[in-house]
Chains A and B, each alone.
Chain A
């Protein structure tokens, strides 16, 4: 029962979604609507579960005396946004939007900006011409970094065409093979999920 029920549910949903792919794109079948509704609503509930467990892990840490201040900040942040949204909604110029645009967003992009520094230090440490592979990697990277710099045209006028050719042929050929590989992986995984062979998501191995 504990395995049979989930496996049959995934079979039914899988087969239905597969079949509905071939339905005429102008039709507005209720079944398709309903399935998509279920899919999105379950996902939203999944996020609620995540938030609940997020807060309970942090508060358990506080009660164990692990970094009460920082874990308190964590919970404070998570509760602050819903509180602000309750005060005056999601309108432009609401507290909620202000907090998002002036506190959350700048911090996020600052964390992202740290990458510029890390790219440089990783390039220095790791980008060594050790063997044929790494020499190719290094050369192509240099061509792109110089050629796509806004003043790269002054160094050599042909960069644009060369980079476009690399992108359209050798680089595309490798990426295409990777795309197809991932595509095949998804196809076999999907088949295994639908037919109940793949049960990793139930904790089985």
Chain B
């Protein structure tokens, strides 16, 4: 039971104390955690992006194209002065524009085309009655769930029925996801309790 393990263990207990109710110990742990997390992200970002990707290439290797990045980056700080704040819209626009431009083809190819083709492929590859049945389940679920997210007013009954069936398929997906998520969350707690009992208290070996 060394001092390092004890510190980690006490902090773990401080967080768990929230289960009993909000209290000063938890409040302290919470603020410390938030502060450290901000500081950690700051350090990693500073070293690995501002220094490695901007400072060194620009001021040591002389890649002048990065002057623009520096200016755009500094413009972000204009937010702190009300009358200049609009300037921070420019770097924001650059980032958002770049993201949108890259997302367009990526979404079309990876999310839409490939997923549509895969739905057809199940029918193409199906052999035997059971596989065909599964393929039909897939198709019905796919089409009715798309129908669920159709927002125009439902002028026909067919659409209303389809959206109802779609909601059942969504529930199957949510149910499966819930089950797997329970697994996941329990694993995390097991890890923490394992740490407390094995590494700290040494009651399991």
- What is the interface of chain A, defined by CB distance below 8 A to chain B? 2, 5-7, 9-19, 21-22, 30, 34-35, 37-54, 70-71, 73-82, 85, 90, 96, 98-100, 102-104, 106-117, 119, 123, 132-134, 136-145, 148, 163, 165-184, 186-187, 189-191, 193-194, 201-202
Given the known interface contacts A9-B97, A173-B138, A174-B145, the answer about A70 and B31 at a Cβ–Cβ threshold of 8 Å is yes
* Residues B110-168 near A (CB distance < 8 A): 111-112, 115-116, 118-119, 134, 137-143, 145-146, 148-149, 166-168
The reply to whether A174 and B175 contact each other, CB–CB distance below 8 Å, is no
Q: List 29 A-B contacts (CB under 8 A).
A: A10-B97, A10-B100, A14-B98, A38-B69, A41-B53, A45-B73, A46-B91, A48-B77, A70-B27, A71-B31, A78-B36, A79-B39, A90-B44, A99-B36, A104-B36, A104-B37, A108-B37, A110-B192, A113-B185, A116-B186, A116-B189, A119-B181, A140-B174, A141-B175, A173-B141, A177-B142, A177-B149, A187-B107, A202-B92
Interface residue from A5, A111, A182 paired with B89 (Cβ < 8 Å)? A5
Chain A neighbourhood of B195, CB < 8 A: 106
The reply to whether A132 and B108 contact each other, CB–CB distance below 8 Å, is no
Chain A neighbourhood of B68, CB < 8 A: 38
Chain A neighbourhood of B32, CB < 8 A: 73, 76-77, 103, 107
Nearest chain B CB to A187 CB, angstrom units = 5
Chain B neighbourhood of A52, CB < 8 A: 77, 80
The reply to whether B42 and A48 contact each other, CB–CB distance below 8 Å, is yes
Chain B, Cβ-Cβ closest to A167: B176
Chain B neighbourhood of A35, CB < 8 A: 98
Chain A neighbourhood of B177, CB < 8 A: 171
Shortest beta-carbon contacts, A-B, top 10: A77-B35, A144-B179, A173-B141, A140-B175, A81-B39, A17-B101, A10-B97, A183-B111, A45-B73, A13-B97
**Chain B window 5-23, contacts with chain A (Cβ cutoff 8 Å), 1 for yes, 0 for no:** 0011101101110110000
Residue of A41, A136, A139 with most chain B CB atoms under a 10 A cut-off = A41
Name the prevailing secondary structure of the B interface residues.
helix
Nearest chain B CB to A107 CB, angstrom units = 4
Instruction: Give the complex CA separation of A19 and B8 in angstroms.
Output: 50
Interface residue from A47, A165, A201 paired with B93 (Cβ < 8 Å)? A201
The reply to whether B31 and A180 contact each other, CB–CB distance below 8 Å, is no
Nearest chain A CB to B56 CB, angstrom units = 12
Given the known interface contacts A176-B142, A190-B103, A190-B104, the answer about A37 and B96 at a Cβ–Cβ threshold of 8 Å is no
The reply to whether A177 and B141 contact each other, CB–CB distance below 8 Å, is yes
Chain A, Cβ-Cβ closest to B136: A169
Given the known interface contacts A49-B76, A79-B39, the answer about A5 and B90 at a Cβ–Cβ threshold of 8 Å is yes
The reply to whether B94 and A107 contact each other, CB–CB distance below 8 Å, is no
The answer to whether the Cβ of B182 comes within 8 Å of any Cβ in the partner chain is: yes
The answer to whether the Cβ of B65 comes within 8 Å of any Cβ in the partner chain is: yes
- What is the interface of chain B, defined by CB distance below 8 A to chain A? 4, 7-9, 11-12, 14-16, 18-19, 27-29, 31-47, 49-50, 53-54, 65-66, 68-70, 72-74, 76-77, 79-80, 86, 89-108, 111-112, 115-116, 118-119, 134, 137-143, 145-146, 148-149, 166-183, 185-186, 188-189, 191-192, 195
Name the prevailing secondary structure of the A interface residues.
helix
Chain A, Cβ-Cβ closest to B86: A2
Given the known interface contacts A144-B180, A201-B92, the answer about A44 and B49 at a Cβ–Cβ threshold of 8 Å is yes
Nearest chain B CB to A33 CB, angstrom units = 9
Chain B neighbourhood of A137, CB < 8 A: 171, 174-175, 178
Chain A neighbourhood of B47, CB < 8 A: 85, 90
Nearest chain B CB to A120 CB, angstrom units = 9
